[in-house]
Structure 1
Amino acid sequence: MLNRIAQRFFLCALLAGSLALTAQNVNLPTIKVQGKEYYYYKVQGGDSPYGICKKFGWDEQTLRECNSNFATKVKKGQTIYYPASPDYTPSVPDKKVAVAFPEAVTHTVARGETVYSIASLYGVPVAVIYANNPDSRHSLKVGEKLVIVQQEYINGTTTEPFFYTVRKGDTLYGLAEKYNASVESLMSENPGISERNFKTGTTIRIVPNSRKTVIVSETKQANTVVGFSQYKVQKNDTWESIAQSAGVSRDDLVSANPSERLPKKGGWVVVPKMEMKDRETLVEIPAEAEATIDDRDSIYNDVHHIDAAENKVDVAVVLDDPASKSNIDFIRGFIMGVDDLKNSGCKINLNVIDAAKA
């Protein structure tokens, strides 16, 4: 007798478990509010809180907490919500920026340059240079100024380099932020520039969207959905008026409802209940600290292989024509600068390279 009772109890338990397992696999529609996904279900005739939870394998306490005006009895047509997953999964924002090129930059012609080499340098057709500098069709002179008009817009995900003429108020760090580049890449692309010698009118090369980042988790106080209630639509109601009355944003209100169309008078609107709670957010930050002047000095030393601890600098000067007057004048001024550094206690390893023989 006892064996039969035990067998029946086991069969009932097995059947109940299989029903719960089947219920959890029921394909219900979902809706996303503030990045968290919820199942939603429209109450049918004969439904009860217990029956709904049994049907879908839900926890009744969680269901009641999620639906703040959930009563002992539910009404036919009422929409109820249940978390599709227990955890909030934050998303990482896309940091890539759409780059608008500056209208034009000025290029100073150097020895050996041609219209074709300059066009290749800036990535523009030769015809663009001719159109903005008509005399360049006939000849180029060393020291001549050419106006280079770059294309106006490029794809937001690009890492194609472009040239930029520094304007009043620009800073090295500010341009790195604007174009999602790193201070390190700006210094590498433009040897010698630093926060201290960044001058208006200087033309620099920028590689957009080249910033190296790491993803970190931050916890901040934010408005978070803690449940839902229902509101009966009145005459002259709008999404905006309901949201204002409920103290939620219009976007959060609309996203909590299956349709973006406001129900007619007498219909029901689901209102998310919000509370300030700690909320995890994933953010991208620069892989290398660069926000302070000391950070940028450290990056400058790394890029230019300066040993700050030993106060030692390795310098190489490449001269295209060492015997020319312009090169001689340059090297004289350069050596004066080197002497000043040596007199301040800095060790200099200087190499002069003849480009013609290199």
Structure 2
Amino acid sequence: MKTNYRIFSWMGIAAVALPIFAAQPNLPKVEILGKEYFYHEIKKGESIYGIAKQHGWDLNELIKLNPNASSEMKKGSRLYYPVDAPVSGNNTNSGNSDRNVNNVVSDNNDNIVRNDSNDSADSAEQTSYEPIRHVVRKGETVYSISRQYNVPLEQIYEAYPNARYGIKAGETIVIQQSPETVSDKYLYYVVKHGDTLYSLAKRYHTTVEDILSANPAVSEKNFKAGETVRIAVNSNSKNVHTETVEEERLASVESYKVGKNETWETISQKTGVDESTLRDANENTTNLKKNTIVNVPVVETVQVEKVVETQDPRELSSEGIQEMYDSIHNIDSDRELLNEVKVAAILDEPTSKKDVDFTRGFLLAIDELKNSPYKINFKVIDGRGATTSVTDALDDFEPNLIVATADKNFPAFLADYGNTNHIEVVNVFDVKNELFEDNPSMVQILPPSTFFNQHLADRIYDEYSSRKVIVVGNEDANDGIAEILLPKYSSDKVTKRSIAALSDTELGETDSYLIYAYSNKKEEISDILHSVDNLREKYPATSITLVGRPSWVMLTDTYGDRFSDAEVLIPSRVWFDADSSHGSRFNASFSDMYGGHPVKSFPNFAASGYDVAKYFIPSTAANGGDFNRGFSGSDDPTIQTDINLVRVNNWGGFINPTGYLLKFRKGGFIDKELVK
């Protein structure tokens, strides 16, 4: 029998009512033609109406599948009913009230039957929106977390009211995802043991390629449990289409009385039903005796429209997934070393001292790398031009590394260009830039303010937590370190003093003190240093440590000796020691090449250019343009900035979360303590 079927949307069938589902009956099951059926063995005195009522089965469905049962209710015979058909409490009404209306089809006689295929819309409703358990890292804020997971700030504040006043590293924030937060965005998922890229793609109706694209830090090699990835649910809709296919279905079950000497083979020949199908329908019948009643499935061939997903065959092999990864990142993973590193430097103000000295330091490093086993091609592009002129110049040059010197308002179009073309974009100077949070191409050399302030405040407190604190000067709302550090101390240990009153402060002979100075002004800093000298002279047995602002480091040439006498601590993102062996050699090489010393600046612009070139050119050559392979740098150490890059997440860029605590000691010594 061949029947043509056509699909109707359930919304368009007004006569169909939603079923009232009840518990499934506790009956044995059998699989026929790949589909499961309950079966009920008829007992003496039972009727088809009573059986339907007992199990909550639709009477019409039961009669349709068992057409002889209404007239021949023989003890020991079976009645079959589809496992996936609706089971409604004590409902024996005819009609379509117990139909599954999520997906229905109609034949030419307008008889409604189910289409067993699930489309992506059904699957979307079944998506599990598991909560995100986010462990706060140093430097993170509620705002950055809300942006990361696309949830409103108020949703976090409602669950964690105290978060309005700040969050601490190590705290766990649970964020509930929902269709609203995921819509047109991403579902965030923590990888479990046993998960694979392919299994996640199938579960969330996306593709391996889409998962790799949404998580540039992820490859098949580093995909592991515990990692958080973002998933574009149902993104494979573009790969889904419907097509008409033929299916064999169970139309009904008829009874057959076994004749003398009959076998399954002879019954199969007489009924036209495959022998294995006959055995499936009668699995408890082992001996065929004369007059035994067996069940004969009546099979019909129907045409149905099914949702079919076109699969990329590369998803099925590691080699294919690597090919997708290479295509996404625009790399050749088989190549161990680039033949040529092409660096484009986008200069914010090409004629400024900053950009001139940065470029000179960069060229000095290139000169030292001239014997490398790869070519280095360096191009300077004027960043003052229109966006199109900059991007056109980049298109013509085709770099595999971009370096930009903007120290504020970092151009977002450069970040977008890098992301679109899979090129790393190094932000050398702008500490307020946050594009790295969700742009995988961004590389932040100087630690962002949130990270820097948190790390340095924690480091100072770890060493000086037992001390009493004297806060000097007018409070500065822009002092991020003070905002984190001072609340760590109990209020009874903190005293506030004006700069003028600091010298007259009474100290305990056996106590230890941490003096925190808000001031950034040169004259005020001088007064504070003078007051600390007086206190040291007045209380020689008392331990006193003065903490200055990061800007104080720019006064090292002027107040270096006084910093040493006062044993000042200065938090700093960078430190160039011109008197060290590396610093002296750099200055000498710079003078030989350019006939003079680098411009005095903070940071040292020439040293910045030198460090960036020495670190990123060899790294780009070694990792083939794929920064997920890591950063090798050069054999020579950097001279101003320790670079230890880490990705902020699987879809964001890199930051360098390092800083220094400069400890000035008597005798003109400076200890540079690296803080990660």
What TM-score range do you get, normalising by the shorter chain?
0.3 to 0.5
Using the size of structure 1 for normalisation, the TM-score is 0.46
Using the size of structure 2 for normalisation, the TM-score is 0.27
The structure whose RCO (Cα within 8 Å, separation 6+) is larger is: 1
Question: Whose Rg is larger?
Answer: 2
